[in-house]
Structure 1
Amino acid sequence: MGSRRNEAEDDPGESVSVGEASTIELPWTTVEHYLGHGLGASYRLSAADEPLVSYEIADAGRGIALHVELAGRHHAPRSPLAAVRIDRVLHGGRRLARVTTTEPELVRDFHDLLLAVADRIVVDGQGLARAFDETVHGWSALLGRPRGLSRERRLGLHGELAVLVRMAGTIGWRAALDTWVGPTGEEHDFALESADLEVKTTASERRRHTIHGLGQLTETAGRPLWFASLRLTRGGTGGRTLADSVRATREAAAAESIALSRRLDGLLEAVGWDAEQPDDERWTPRDSPLVIRATDMPRLTADDLPEGAVARIDTVNYTVDVTGLSSIGQPPPLDLSDLPLP
């Protein structure tokens, strides 16, 4: 297997290569290492005597790009995708087409797209326009098929498992599993003895969370509702995949009782967890969770709508930013300070 020239100065141990099937291989774990540490890197994908094709990782975690040298009078093609931008840049005396994404939260999937385009250019000898067009059309048949859990739901499950493990350390696994009612279709994630708890997890810099429905932040009569905001950041090789968190949680439950581990499996199945799903994104907590009363944060409930409007509105989804907020009054029902991933 012949290695391509690696131009990264701080290589975590892996490099770009051409596999046995003559396809370009740049493991996501390598890219994630640089993104997680805020380091820049450049990997040349084409041979030294061929027009430049390189995979670029911007410093400070600002994303990834594919650079393709434009020979002669060739121009950068237009992108039909709103999430993908292709523009022209000058670098080192070369005219280059630069392929970037306008959606940083899709960087993991964008990585796969860039490698697919680069493979058609470097291995199959196609031009950028044709390589990009064929890649987009080749993937279009798959766009309507769900790729397991969405990214939002995977991050959410990370957070809920972290809270579940903390809960089990306080009241035991049997009681902790009783409190995790979200997978069974209840409005809130956890039903504690005297309060409810809604858990949201984000990978963004700010505590911005999507709220699904008018009831998600509505208190049940006589039971205060608390809201936990968790922030994760890419952890590189030291982070935890969702599979790692699931495995650790199952082992902890099984240590108390095999029956409890099986019960946990049923709850995981109910939320859509599948061990066969692609899973190579590693995360670590950015800081301690923010835990506040739902009544102390911006929210929408059925009471906020005009009389009769609820019956005519099918779906309400909105994003709320709780950055910098704090709760007033009594302490939260569960201490989530310095909460680790399982």
Structure 2
Amino acid sequence: MINNQMQAREIFSALEQECRSKKWMGQDPLLTRQMRLSQEILAVFAVRKTDGKHILYLQCNPEDAAKGHRYPAWKGISIEFSGFDNAGIDGCYVRIEQGEGSDDEVYFAVSDDLCSCLNSIERADLRKRLSEALERWRRFFSLRENIKLTREEQLGLFGELWLLRSMLQNNLGLQTIGYWKGPYHEVFDFSLQNMSIEVKTTAAKMPYKAYISNEVQLNDRLAGGTLALFFIAVQPSDSSGETVADVVKGIEDYIENDESACSLFRDKIFGCGLGKPYIDSYAARYIVKEHAIFNVKEGFPRILSENLPNGLGDISYSLEISACANYRIDEQEFWQIAKLHAKEETA
């Protein structure tokens, strides 16, 4: 029995090495290691000798299997109730097997997270907690293909989170967490009542440009009212500045006394690829050099779908920030407008 501080990837790696050496003894089809997550829940990590597939078994209530409970799943993983293939290990288990073509790194990350979520809980709570954890991963893979963020994605999230923290600092309230729509890949990064905000962040030098990914991203008709473009210019730094994790921690400090806001925020950062342990691996630091806010309305330089010839779409383009000067709004005015729309949301 191994201690519960080891990560799933470490355990599976040790089993893989043993499997490759072919020095195992006995006729059991699986090489296994056991780890107790709590007094009532045993986790068994297994590698099948014939094909090297990874399998995680989680001890569960037989009643759950008898009732035919189904857990959330997605392409690349199979989940079912099962006994154990090896002799000497009895009981009912939830069997979580790596699918054909599924990446090892993804499977290890899922296994690590599941074990962390089930650590120290009672078996009676396993179905609820395991379902919640698997549903988070199902939603994650419905929006993303890769676990790790690209440098471009990190930069974009830094800007969105920096604005989210600024909204809390400017007293827009805890409902601000709900305004953030970036993790859901909606049209705009933030949606208040009758107001939307699109965030663009660049680490490039002047003259500044914003990359617009499609012809609807600056369409104020879809914003439900006011549409603001919040532009942020950052300077990468090796020693000073903030990481994405630093900004996340700052937000968590603001909302720590509200469990509902904390839970929603955890789900959102998990959904956009900032779950543990990866968030701490994003070491890039940024200093916000300047930021500017623009009112996107009639005459604003942009490409709109209604202005395109038939047959054209999925248009991406660069927007020179200097060309937007006539539409710039004062920061104090922006916060007054945002607070007004935040109040409408809670009215």
Higher fraction of helix: 2
TM-score normalised by length of structure 2: 0.48
TM-score normalised by length of structure 1: 0.49
